[in-house]
Amino acid sequence: MSGYAADVAALARKDLKLELRARDTLPAMLLFVLSTLVVFHFALPEGSGDEAAYGLLWVAIVFTALLGLARAWVPEREHGVLDGLVLATSDRSAIWLGKAIATFAFLAAAELVALPAFALFFQPLDAAAIAGVALANVGICAVGTLLAAMAAASRTRELILPLLFLPLTIPLVVGGVGSSISAEAGDYLLFLALYDGVFAVLSWATFEYVVVE
Amino acid sequence: MIRAEGLEKRYGRKRVLRGVDLAVGRGELLLVTGPNGSGKTTLLRVCAGLALPSAGSLEVEVDRSRLGYLGHEALLYRELTALENLDLYGRLYRVPERRERIGMLLERFGLWDARGERVGSYSRGMTQRLALCRVLLHDPELVILDEPYTALDADAAELLDRELAGLVEGRAILVSTHDPARVEPLATGRLALA
C-alpha cells in the first residue's frame, strides 16, 4: 500500500473506531432518517404519486447527511487534534479523504436501513434509483466533508454548515430524483458522476488551504 | 534550521505579531518569553506551519515530518487509548519499529501502566506527558514547545528538564514558558515579546 493510501486507511479506520466507541453519530442518523420517513408517510396525502415520495426521500437523505457532517469534525476539535494531523500527514488531503470515506460509511449504513423503510412506506426503489443514491453519496461526502471542516473552524459552525452545504446539494437532488423517476435515468447518473468527479477533485485540492490559518 | 525576519501576523485588523526576527540553528534552544497576549503561541504556530505569516519571511529548513510540536492542547483523541493515539501518529509519521519506540516512550514518561486507558480518563498532567511522547515519537529535528511545563507535577517537570537537556544536542528547539528560570540554563538565545 502506498504511503498516501496507508495514511487514508489509518485515518478512516480511526474514525470508524471512534464511532464504535462513542456511538454518537450513526444512531442519531438512523433515528433521524427513520423518523423523517415515518413523518413523511403520514404527511403525504394519498394518491400523491411516486414523484412526491421520491422527492421526500431525497430531502431525508440530504438532511441525514447534514446531521452526520455536523458531527464529522467534533473529535478533531477537541484537544486541537486537527493541528496534530496537519503536521503528521505528508499530504494533508489524506485527512479529508479519510474523513470523507468514514462519512460515506456512516451515510451508507443509515441508507441500508432507510431504503428498505422507504420501500415499506412508499414503493421499492429500482436499480437506477439505488445507483443514484450511491453516486449522490460520493458527492455529498466529498463536498460536505470539506465544508464541514471549514465550518468547524468557525464559532457559528451550526449555522454556516447548512448555509454552505444545502445550496451545493441542489444538483445532487436534481440528479438523484431524475435517476429515480426519469425514463432517461442514465443521463442523470452521468450527471451525478460528473458532479462527483468535479467536486471530489476541487475538495481534494483545496483542503490544505482550509486547515491552515 | 529556522530563520524569520520581520515576521508579522494579523487576524483581521488585529496585529498579533509585529516585526519578529529569530534564528535557531542545530544544537540551539531559543527561549520565547512574554506576557499573556504577546503573541508567543501565534509565533510558535507560524513557525510550525499551522498559521501563515501575514508579512515577513520565514525559512524552515527541516521537512514538516521532522517537526515536533506541543501546543496548548494535547492534539490527542479523547476516545482513543494512549497506545492507539501514538500508534496513529506513528503510522502517519512512518516511524520505524513503531511499537518498540512507543513502548519505550510510554515507559520513560511513566505511562506504560495506563497505556490501555482512554485519554479522556487521564488527568491533565498525564495528558501532557502523553502529548510529550507524541512530540518525541518521530525523533524530530525541530522541536517547538508551547508552555510544556503546564500541569506537570514536580517529578514530571524534572523529567522534562532532563529530556530537554538531551534533546538540545543535534536539534533546534523553541520553547515558550511563563517559567523562564526553568529553561534558562539550556537556552542559547532569548526572545522577549512585548
Under 8 Å between Cβ of B184 and B27: no
Under 8 Å between Cβ of A69 and A165: yes
First-to-final CA distance of chain B: 25
Confidence category of residue B93, pLDDT binned at 50, 70, 90: very high
CB atoms within 10 A of CB A150: 18
Instruction: Count how many domains chain A has.
Output: 1
Rg (CA), chain B: 16
Query: Mean pLDDT, chain A, as a whole number?
Result: 91
In sequence order, the 6+-apart residues with CB closer than 8 A to the CB of B149 are B157, B160, B177, B179, B182
Range of lowest pLDDT (A11-20, B12-21, B76-85, B87-96) = B12-21
- Map residue B106 onto helix, strand or coil: helix
Residue B158's pLDDT is: 87
Q: How far is residue B143's CA from residue A25's CA, in Å, rounded to a whole number?
A: 36
* Nine cell digits for residue B54: 501575514
Query: Mean pLDDT, chain B, as a whole number?
Result: 91
Q: What ipTM was estimated for this complex?
A: 0.90
Parent domain of A33: 3-211
Confidence category of residue A182, pLDDT binned at 50, 70, 90: confident
Q: Which residue has the cell 444512531?
A: A27
- CB–CB contacts below 8 A, A to B: 77
pLDDT in tens, A120-166: 988 888 999 999 999 999 999 999 999 999 998 888 888 899 999 99
Q: How far is residue A26's CA from residue A29's CA, in Å, rounded to a whole number?
A: 5
CA distance A83 to chain B (A): 7
Handedness of CA A81, A83, A88, A90 (dihedral sign): positive
Confidence category of residue B194, pLDDT binned at 50, 70, 90: confident
pLDDT in tens, B158-193: 888 888 888 888 899 999 988 888 888 888 999 988
Q: Is the pLDDT of residue A48 over 80?
A: no
Closest Cβ–Cβ partner in B69, B76, B118 for A81: B76
- Nearest to B139, CA basis, from B76, B90, B179, B71: B90
Q: How far is residue B173's CA from residue A9's CA, in Å, rounded to a whole number?
A: 32
Q: How far is residue B163's CA from residue B46's CA, in Å, rounded to a whole number?
A: 24
Residue A1's pLDDT is: 64
Q: Is the pLDDT of residue A45 over 90?
A: no
**Percent helix, percent strand, percent coil in chain B, to nearest 5:** 40, 25, 35
Strand ranges across the sheet with B189-192: B67-70, B142-146, B172-176, B28-33, B189-192
Contacts of residue A79 in chain B, CB cutoff 8 Å?
73-78, 119, 127
Q: Is the pLDDT of residue A202 over 90?
A: yes
Confidence category of residue A83, pLDDT binned at 50, 70, 90: very high
Under 8 Å between Cβ of A172 and A111: no
Confidence category of residue B118, pLDDT binned at 50, 70, 90: very high
Tell me the residue ranges of DSSP E strands in B34-185: 55-60, 67-70, 142-146, 172-176
- Nearest to A75, CA basis, from A94, A53, A113, A103: A103
Q: Is the pLDDT of residue A208 over 80?
A: yes
CA distance A128 to chain B (A): 39
Residue contact B48–A18, C-beta within 8 A: no
- Map residue B194 onto helix, strand or coil: coil
pLDDT in tens, B58-76: 999 888 889 999 998 899 9
Residue A5's pLDDT is: 94
Q: Which residue has the cell 471530489?
A: A200
pLDDT in tens, B128-165: 999 999 999 999 999 999 999 888 888 888 888 888 88
Residue B88's pLDDT is: 96
Closest Cβ–Cβ partner in B50, B77, B91 for A83: B50
User: Average of pLDDT values for A18-28?
Assistant: 91
CA distance B47 to chain A (A): 12
Percent of chain B with pLDDT over 70: 100
CA A178 to chain centroid, in Å, comes to 19
Q: How far is residue B132's CA from residue B71's CA, in Å, rounded to a whole number?
A: 10
